């Protein structure tokens, strides 16, 4: 999976198109990611203790990876991701400026 936790991304399709965010969690088996402040859904929470009130909370829901694009930290543009293999290991590179991500 090319998008990792703590990456800066932009949404390219869906109700939040054009919004930028930081990835909080990646779900590789489902090809989805949870981003900060994107794809907000309302969840109804029941009261658990006597005297406590029920409430409606807003949480970020997972969004499909195909609807996200990575923002390069060096050039600041939306980029595709490539890989470079060296003796130290494998790391991601920006396809536009060839910088390590």
Q: Which CATH number fits domain 8-74: 3.20.20.150, 2.30.30.30, 1.10.8.50, 3.40.50.720?
A: 2.30.30.30
Q: What is the pLDDT of residue 69?
A: 95
pLDDT of residue 1: 85
Taking only the tens of pLDDT, the chain with its 101 residues reads 899 999 999 999 999 999 999 999 999 999 999 999 999 999 999 999 998 999 999 999 999 999 999 999 898 999 999 999 999 999 999 999 999 98
Per-residue pLDDT at 57: 95
Domain ranges of the chain: 8-74
CB-count burial class (<10 Å; 0-12, 13-18, 19+) for 83 = exposed
Predicted local confidence at residue 3, as pLDDT: 94
């Amino acid at each position: 999976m090319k998008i990792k936790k703590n990456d800066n991304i932009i949404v390219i399709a869906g109700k939040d198109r054009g919004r930028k965010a930081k990835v909080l969690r990646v779900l590789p088996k489902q090809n989805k990611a949870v981003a900060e402040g994107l794809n907000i859904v309302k969840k109804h929470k029941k009261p658990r203790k006597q005297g406590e009130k029920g409430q409606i909370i807003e949480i970020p829901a997972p969004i499909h990876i195909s609807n996200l694009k990575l923002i390069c930290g060096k050039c600041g543009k939306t980029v595709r991701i490539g890989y470079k293999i060296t003796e130290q290991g494998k790391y991601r590179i920006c396809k536009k400026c060839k910088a390590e991500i």
